[in-house]
A and B are shown apart, each in its own frame.
Chain A
Amino acid sequence: MFNPQLDKDGKLKHLLSIEGLPKSILKQILDTADSFAGVGEREVKKVPLLRGKTVCNIFFENSTRTRTTFEIAAKRLSADVINLNVGTSSQSKGETILDTVENLTAMHADVFVVRHAESGAAHLIARHVQPHVHVINAGDGRHAHPTQGLLDVYTIRRYKPDMHNLKVALVGDVLHSRVARSEIHALTTLGVPEVRVIAPKTLLPSFVERLGVQVYHDMREGLKDVDVVMMLRLQNERMSGALLPSAQEYFKYFGLTQEKLALAKPDAIVMHPGPMNRGVEIDSAVADGSQSVILPQVTYGIAVRMAVMSILAGNN
């Protein structure tokens, strides 16, 4: 099938999902991110790769963190940045998603960073933009959040360079998580031999094993001997109702504590895409503990997003 993310030469044209991308492109992004990792520590935190280009953050769904990291990444590449919170403007006036995009295209944007509450929104936009425009999916419904998946594997690679010898566990709400789907595809594409998901059945999609993961419902079993523990965020509205009885019971059985973390390898790292619910999916002692790499994830997120934008639209 035609791959909407690649151009006719097999180069990255849009970043919509990790699924369907070859390992070589993922490695290219991670290697490029390596070269940007130090930029933030310099006195002049800028490189000119996107000078004269306009990056447009279109957020149909609210977000502060992701939008900010994209903005910082674009600015460090010397791009001009426009932020648009569509959730609060045009859509409430009845403008369709493609109308919004066409209007911004008319303003000569080069890169669209898009977030939307519905799965497939980024694909829809990518199908309808003009040929010179690049689309980066910053999260679509439950489907994908590829830059988050990439920054997570980037972080893992920094701490555990031999990816072919890793056991990774994802814990929590896989069903509603675009982050989980992107992480799973990134890990399996890069050759991680064992990816586990640990969750109650109500928080797993049917046929999740077809994504290439092993399913555990007992956290103690699932965490045994893993090198990486990736916690997923549980949305407030899902903590009590037909999916889960209470946040307390969830924390007791699926929350990460020091005691449960002790079952993993002694040098295991703990990750979380944020924002965290302390005391629901993760204990503060773990989140702030020595094995946590949650803050480095945020830092690396900027380098990875710089890498993606420079590969898509850089002046070479």
Chain B
Amino acid sequence: MNGSRPDPDELLAQVQAQEVRSHRGKLKIFFGASAGVGKTFSMLEDAQRRKATGVDVVVGYVEPHGRVETERLLMGLEHLPLLVDVAGASGRSEFNLDAALARKPQLLLVDELAHTNLAGVTPEPRHEKRWQDIEEVLEAGIDVYTTVNVQHLESLSDVVARITGAPQRETVPDHVFEAADEVELIDLPPDDLLQRLKGGKIYVPDQAQRALESFFRKGNLIALRELALRKTADRVDQAMRDYRKQEAVQQPWRTRERLLVCVGPDEQAAIMVRAGKRMADALDAEWLVVYVETPALLQLKDAERNRRIDLMRLAESLGAEAITLGGSSAVDEILEYARTRNVTRILVGKPNRRYRLGFLAGRASTTTRLIEQAADFDVVVVGGEVRDPPSAAITSRIDAADHGAGSDKQRWPHFAKAVGATLIATAICWLMEPTFESPNLVMVYLLAAAVVAVRYGRYPAIVTSVLNVLAFDIVFVPPRLSFAVSDAQYLLTFVIMLVVALIISNLAASVRLQAKVAGHRERRTALLYAMSRKLAAARDRKAMEHAAISHVSEVFDCTTALLLPNGAGRVGPSREKHSRDVLTTVDPGAAQWSFDHGRPAGLGTDTLAGTDVVYLPLVGAKAPQGVLAVKPRNRRRILLPEQFRLLETFAAQIAMALERADLADQAHAAELRAETEVVRNSLLASLSHDLRTPLSAVVAGAATLAERMEDMSPDERRSLATTVRRSAMSVSDHVTSVLDLVRLESGSIRLRLDWYEIDDIAATVLHRLRDRLGTRHVVMDIPATLPALHVDGKLIEQLLENLLDNAIKYTPPESEIRLSAVVRGNQIEVAVADNGPGFESVDPEALFRKFERGTKEGTVGGIGLGLAICRAIVELHGGQIHAEERAPHGALIRVRLPLPAQPPAGLRDDD
């Protein structure tokens, strides 16, 4: 169908890769089979040619090894300052990454990509490996020339070690080599190389003389040359394939190969991983490295478990996805996982001798069983150099096995119970013996062993099993009360009793352990969910930070700090209060680096690894949110790849939460701005309507009076002057309202609290409003016993005035306005009700917003600030105000004010 169309994902990947590449500097590697083939020389020649064409070339680090030709080529090139060993003892120096980044040449020359940066120079190199320095240089957009020997490629290091007999410690991850834009093979036939060696043209440090003599044997050189040529050919091949893909030299879409490498805790594992890498490369396949943590493996000594850390890291550095699975059966777990991931091939190691001892428990080796059960996969068995696991591992396994049933403290009571179980079983059998055959008695003993196994673990069960056999022999097998056995048949009974008991106890122990493993994982997952929930529920950043720190600290058994950026993009510790979970010793440089580059730093990473703190960037979807610094109490809790990934998951959750908080803040600010905008607009609209209209009346009326006075009758004049006054008063009222609201809402107002009686204030207000009330009837319902209020009297007066004024404004003459006050709980409720038209389907609550009014534009004046002012006053007093519709019609506004403790009684009257 669409088989000939290029996969869109792949096209996208290509485009992205090109995009990255266009910003990145180009990496050219001068690649050779061994030292002495002339890599540095070729690199410098090339650099000189580039310089001649006007390229800005700078030497970052080149070891001339005292050779004249090399030094001559170095002449005329600018050199960067080096990092120097201050102690000075070794006279060592290092490539200066920061100098390179600051100088920013077009092309930088750095020899020996595989080099491990020395500790002890000042300042401390940022990265452990030179290739990491180079990565950063490339990212800065600087082109780099460098050199690599074939023996330094990670995936080939074991092959090389086998050829030369010397292990390689300085390696370059294959992805660095593969990502190089250009690889130039510097090839020299072995004979010429040996010639150069004899001629002293290859630099050899004195102390390494002998090692090098064995290295530069012709056989070795031929093998290395072949490796280098093959690697280069692979690269060319890959380039060809890429080209074909890119140019849509269309090939049928094929299922991708996916390779799964099974590894165990033994030494074979690293070989397996490298073999997997080579096969995956050859197949152009994705590959996974899977380690199954079975209950048995959980019992391994720490040292062995730590080796797994290295193994998984190696796998990841070679480009594999490293996964740890948990389960009782490695085979089942592997196959299950392989199916879910659409794996096509499974790579397993040759059966280990150790597993052959497993026949006692009826176990075949993992490999054998895997081959039997993996019908739907190609299973590839990798053989070769499988050495016996060191005897220490076996001992440790046996030691570890001892821990199966728990700690020493618990064990002795368990053994006592084991003895007790045998005694009880014997007692029961004693009672049964007259009526039951002896095979049934055996059943009772087996039951006892099974119960002990399930309850107390393997070793008490073994004790019970052995004691059972002895007890059965002594008490029930003739001749009684002696070890002697008259009937040889019973020997078989003993053996079967023992074996069955052992198998049961083993199974029971596995079940217990597996439950423990499952419980552990479940707990971790639960904690992740718990943190997500806490983060989601956190109402402010403070609560969020606290939730993040306490959860991470708990799950990973560590101290934790959150470093959040300030406005200038510098991260610093949050102000979480000190507790045992909070990490206080943070390296700001490492944290900043992690924040800036969005990559982890510190412990267990390749960057600034000389610390015991891990720095994880909190990368949000839009912007980096900060850095999570974690200092583990137990390194394994962090460094295992799946633990590290779990930590990253936590970090991602935290980042998301922080980003969400950020967005919420922004949204809130935007909302505020929008609201301000709305208020400003309605203020302008109100002002233009409610001020301009009466002002026009004032101006026009006064002008008429001034200019046409003589033409008017006294009544006309009076009427016009009255209009002018009414309009002016209305302008004055509006302005006063606006000013009042501003004053009330500015927060600058200080309440002048004193004791007031509401009826007193009401009376004053009604006295003032007496003209405006006209024929409206006011009913006061304020009990004489109503307690006094502790309020700002002037403001409460204004409140009542506004409420009553509002009632007057919106009711026709002859209406009834009811003013009542009553104690409700710990509040005094003051209500103003009328029997006018009510709010007429306007949302009553909206009335309290600024510039709203019951009826739109028109007959009734007032900007609609009255109720907003009321709300401001009530809220200043810690009260609430609500409006509601009254049945059958009318408006009701309730104000609730806190009921204060009452003042002392009045002064005694001397009557």
Q: Do A and B come from one complex?
A: no
Interface residues of A (CB under 8 A from B): none
